[in-house]
A and B are shown apart, each in its own frame.
Chain A
Amino acid sequence: MTDQPLKILSVMLGGQLFGIDIGHISDILPRQDDTPVPQAGRRISGLINLRGHIVTLIHVRLCLGLSSQDTSKMNVVIEYGGELYGLLFDEVGDILDLDRVDMESVPSVLDERWHGLGQGVFRLPQGLLILLDAVKLVESARPENIFL
């Protein structure tokens, strides 16, 4: 189990390298106009129609406490609980094969939110990659978790 390499989609957000386990991912699309959801809070960008399924788009940058300037151009769609959620990132990079043994815990100096949502950190030639927990990310966007 631990010997199996992790397949991670690398993504950029606010100049930082993040990763999402491709096991969750169902689609990668350019961002498109969405329908805002009233009273859903800022972390929910809105809804889009993806081949007849409604996808709830999530502002990952706000979940992570990054600058609120919206520069996200890509939408990484994941499936969770039989529903589709779109995670918004600035750019999408390559799929990386990473070894689980190389994963380090998230340094304690980082933002508390990064601790909660990050599964671990990889040191890569291009910089540090923080592996995000897609499920926790979705849960963190739940409106009652937000002070509007």
Chain B
Amino acid sequence: MDDIIAEFISETQEGLTELDTALIAFESRPDDRQLLDKIFRTLHTIKGTCGFLGLMRLEKVAHTAETLLDGFRSDGKMATPSDVAIILSALDQIRVLIESIQATGSEPEGDDNALVARIQVAIDRSACNDAPPVTEANAAGFEPVGPTADISTLDNPDKNSEAPSSADISNPGPDAASQYLRVNVDTLEEMLTMVSELVLTRNQLAQITKDHENNILSGPLQRLNSVVSDLQDSVMKTRMQPIGNAWVKFPRIIHDISRDLNKKIHLEMKGEEAEVDRQVLEMIKDPLMHMVRNSADHGIETPHDRISAGKPETGTITLSACHEGGYVIIEIRDDGKGISPDRVRKTVLQKGLATEDHLASLSDKQILAFIFSAGFSTAETVTAVSGRGVGMDVVRTNIEKIGGTVELESVVGKGSCFTIRIPLTLAIISALLVQHGGQEYALPQLTVQELLRISPNTKEQVEMLGNRPVLRFRDQILPLVPMSELLHFSDETSDNLNMRNCYVVIANLGTTLFGMIVDNVIGTEEIVVKPVSSILRGIPIIAGNTILGNGRVIMILDPAGIAKAGNIAATQQSRQTSMDALSSHNEADLSSLLLFRTNEGVSKAVPIFLVSRIEEFNRHTIDETGGKILVEYQGRLMELHAIDGMPETPFTKALIFSDDRSNNAFGIVVHEIEDIVEANFAIKSGTQRNGFLGTGLINGRAVDILDINYFTGEKNWIADEGALRRAQGNGGARVLIVEDSAFFRHMLKPLLLMAGYDVTMTDGPKGALKMCEKGMDFDLIVSDIEMDDMDGFAFAEKVKTQTRWKNIPMVALSSRATQQDKEKGFSKGFSAYVAKSDRDALLDTLQNVLGKTLKEEALS
């Protein structure tokens, strides 16, 4: 018999047994919504499987019964005992058909029209809301209707006598199970446990015999050793399966759907070899099937529609899997028609799943998420292929049960993409074992990007930026977390931080790159992640614990938790990250500031986004001529500004400010770099010192805030560069900056000047609108969002709808850059939305926006 059919039979028999019990309970509790949903889903799964196996009779019976149940779900009407009886007789008929398939491999001849008609009567009656007479209910309940007519046509006459009876229900066919050995995951889990115990015992034995040389036990012990290791490997392996195992049915499903719906669909599968835990695989199998069916049914258009939409006739569904950042990520992507948020919104309202007010406050993505709600479907016609949206409900439930998430992204006309993330806690992972403070720890190998050995002879050295260790690593300043700080166990925190001889484990969290300082690296090992006991679950730096091959328990550390605990903010990566990565930073007016000291006075501060690099120069390479301090830097002479004189040290540190595009740069000599702080600051007036904006309070400390303008304002090269760019026609654009914070105005001006723009500043929308009235013109407007009298959104709306500036592109600049903010910004007329702290993103964006405008002008 076909494997798939055999599996289907054994699954369906299990499902039928569950359904019987559930339906009996439902009869007495017809208002139990959860129970109804459960019955509905089980029946739906059976129906779905019949569909693709081409079992038409089964499918018809199951579909009709499901339709009857759906009536109770959507109308909220109570099922009567006669309804339940009819569904039970449908189940009985399904069982009869299954038995026939089991015996002969195919459905018996004949049809189930009588039964289907009876169910249809019940559907109509339930729709009319007529309470059925009791006598009819009894008749329906006790008279075996459809089945008797059909049974006579069965190939196996023995089954005839076993007309649907209660005895039959509890005793599904015996043959299906014997062909397949289905091992309970608990059994495997138990085996794993016992193997670990065996390993422990072996180790103890080895320990005892080690002290006795020429021991008669050493030979057998060695054999025991290798057998135990092999056994351990085998048991571990039994839990792992390539994810492709869950996909084997899909090509067939897609094939059948294509045929049934007259569509052309190509199924592409990538990463089938990615191994997942058996348990995980079991849990995601059905959800994945539902999603693939949905994509084929609702996503991909008919060839005709595709051609008229300018797409290739054949639609593509791409299924891919990979391990990433401690998760197994599965994507189901189609290039179909996409899901329209408006249609979802409409359906949500129609079905009363949310109020209009509530929907208004949601982003498109949040609205799309409604398709995962129970009883939701956007399909205008109910089809046998993917039914009534019940699938997405099951999908979410099953995935969340194993601690995963599912997300939907969709672009109307372009397609949809479901992303499933399943945490590794159920899986076996490859871990890097490190040692620190005499203890071993495991780090998920997936987040580890690189390992660096640090010793007094290596090029890389751990340096201190204030009280924070950093590593200069490939032109970057990599923040480091000394693990001693995080791993202390008691009050006696030993300060044995040895940063000269250590290892740095560089972890990549996608948006954040940072290093962890550890004493030693031991190696890698495959480990089974076990959750820590519930009282320890609140500790953020711990991802789990595990038992190593040698029987010892070790902690699995969570790099993301460590980054957080070590105050590693994603913004420190701002030069590498995209706007999206920064969107998590939504506290208004928080800035990352670099604190440093010069020869004299209080600490100084400068926003870190203005600083390109921190460099160290040998005193010999620095020339002091004609009142200028010059140093060769990247093949050019660069001027250094020593605010309070040069420090008397053989090496001089300097903050480099540069416009990377033109290679122009200058440096500010610093004595010592103190810290990087994320702070709210306020400039207090009073200081009139050249080169400073004033004194600010940062975390309660007074610091002088550097005015970059002062150092760049008179520099000829800036003007020259600007002129050069204007001459080339790609720069010198007139940019208006609308920004109420004096601090940011001062900071942005030099940045844009250096990039060759002609910069005009105003402190708010009012000033800007006055300029508009006066007849001033600009090529681009950069506006802050959070401003007092009129916010950036209102300003943009006004500019775009009521002024002659309506064709000037506008860029929003905000410390709040969530997806929602961005969407709002775009709807008000902004062409781009940039996070305040991202210097390069701002320059790139300005260039792009201006470039696009120029192109459009050229075209028109």
Contacts and interface: CB of A to CB of B under 8 A. Distances in A.
B192 interface: yes
B41 interface: no
Interface in A45-63: 46-49, 51-54, 56
Given A37-B542, A38-B487, A39-B486, A49 B536 contact: no
Contacts of A54: 530, 532-533, 545, 547, 553
A77 B633 CA distance: 66
A36 interface: yes
B197 A51 contact: yes
A52 B195 CA distance: 8
Contacts of B423: none
Given A36-B489, A38-B488, A52-B192, A44 B536 contact: yes
A85 B336 CA distance: 53
Among A37, A48, A141, find the residue whose CB has the most chain B CB atoms closer than 10 A.
A37
B539 A35 contact: no
B534 A83 contact: yes
Nearest to A38: B487
A59 to B, nearest CB: 11
B196 interface: yes
Contact of B555 (A37, A49, A83, A144): A37
Interface in B192-242: 192-197, 200
Q: For chain A, what secondary structure do more than half of its interface residues adopt (helix, strand, loop), or is it mixed?
A: mixed
Contacts of B195: 52
Contacts of A85: 533, 535
Contacts of B532: 37, 54, 56
Interface in A6-37: 34-37
A39 B541 contact: yes
A62 to B, nearest CB: 11
B329 to A, nearest CB: 28
Given A51-B193, A54-B545, A35 B439 contact: yes
A139 B541 contact: no
Interface string B547-560: 10001111100000
Contacts of B555: 35, 37-38, 47
Contacts of B554: 35
Among B195, B197, B488, B536, find the residue whose CB has the most chain A CB atoms closer than 10 A.
B536
B535 A52 contact: no
B700 interface: no
A139 B197 contact: no
B553 A49 contact: yes
A47 B195 CA distance: 19
Interface string B253-276: 000000000000000000000000
A56 B193 CA distance: 17
Nearest to B438: A36
A34 B545 CA distance: 13
Nearest to A144: B538
A54 B200 CA distance: 13
A87 to B, nearest CB: 13
A56 B552 CA distance: 13
Given A39-B486, A39-B539, A52-B197, 12 more contacts: A36-B439, A39-B487, A40-B489, A40-B536, A40-B539, A49-B200, A51-B194, A51-B196, A52-B192, A52-B194, A56-B532, A84-B533
30 contacts: A35-B553, A35-B555, A37-B532, A37-B542, A38-B488, A38-B555, A39-B539, A39-B540, A40-B489, A40-B539, A42-B490, A47-B553, A48-B553, A49-B196, A49-B200, A49-B547, A49-B551, A49-B553, A51-B194, A52-B192, A52-B196, A52-B197, A54-B532, A54-B533, A54-B553, A81-B534, A84-B533, A138-B535, A141-B535, A143-B535
Q: Which 3 A-B pairs have the closest CB atoms?
A: A52-B193, A52-B196, A38-B487
